[in-house]
Structure 1
């Protein structure tokens, strides 16, 4: 029965439905970081495609906010762990660990990395941005 329901959903959703491997932020709603201060799982039926990935949202309102300005809600520094980047390593951040600093959301690899960033955000971000600039000239 579940297979049948999933098959029907895939046909009903049409070509916009992406496989889970194409889900940005593992399905976490990028607007939720700033609106709710939480890593909220988005719904599989409220989705938009941006930069080749499916971005999921908890509500139509969050999807509309994102679509109006996706760059404002996408994680900074390509979603890499800011602390690792500040140390010269390119490691993906975990969408469950994040920090909102100023108007930007940054991902971290762990709670320990999040605590470290929050203890010295200005210095760590400055170092991470310098490494990012070298990696992405």
Structure 2
């Protein structure tokens, strides 16, 4: 009986990644539209209500794969930091809009509409949505965390990010 219980736990544990949702990847073919997810940590965040600094573009020749997607980086050092702990640097909710997840759905996350809260990277879809998100960031995170287990297994969004154009990471 003990052996059966251990086998069941192992099967469930090993099976969990199969239920994980997909990383949002837009027309560039890269997660976070090809922006360097490690570089956000070196940017100075703007106060709530003000626009954040622009995201740092990655380079096509400096990449790493995680959660079924390719991430691009501005430097090999950033790629190496990502590879040490990709879950720490990857955007929350597989790169989908944090406010959208708080409302129960998966819509694209815009890499230039970002905020780091409690050492986690959150993206939102439009500047209007950022306003709603920032009205109650802790409450919206609580709602999103409650919704995420149910919507995580759903396929990644296939929508285009509104009012956003990003060239694929530069070839150097």
Shorter-chain TM range is 0.7 to 0.9
- Cross-structure match for 1:14: none
Structure 2: distance between partners of 1:119 and 1:100: 16
Bigger share in helix: 1
| Alignment partner of 1:39 out of 55, 59, 65 | 55
CA RMSD, Structure 1 to Structure 2 (Å) = 1.8
Cα distance change on mapping 1:134 and 1:52 into 2, 3 Å? closer
Q: Which runs of 5+ in 1 are unaligned?
A: 1-19
Whether the 8 Å CA contact 1:81–1:94 is kept in 2: the answer is yes
User: TM-score w.r.t. structure 1 length?
Assistant: 0.76
1:72 shift after superposition: 0.3
Give the match for residue 51 of structure 1: 67
How many residues align? The count is 118
Deviation at 1:53, TM superposition (A): 2.0
What TM-score do the two structures reach when normalised by structure 2? Answer: 0.62
**1:75 maps to which of 91, 96, 119:** 91
Instruction: Name structure 2 gaps, 5 residues minimum.
Output: 1-26, 45-53, 154-172
Residue matched to 2:141:
125
Distance, in Å, in 1 between the alignment partners of 2:150 and 2:67 is: 22
Separation in 2, partners of 1:49, 1:89: 25
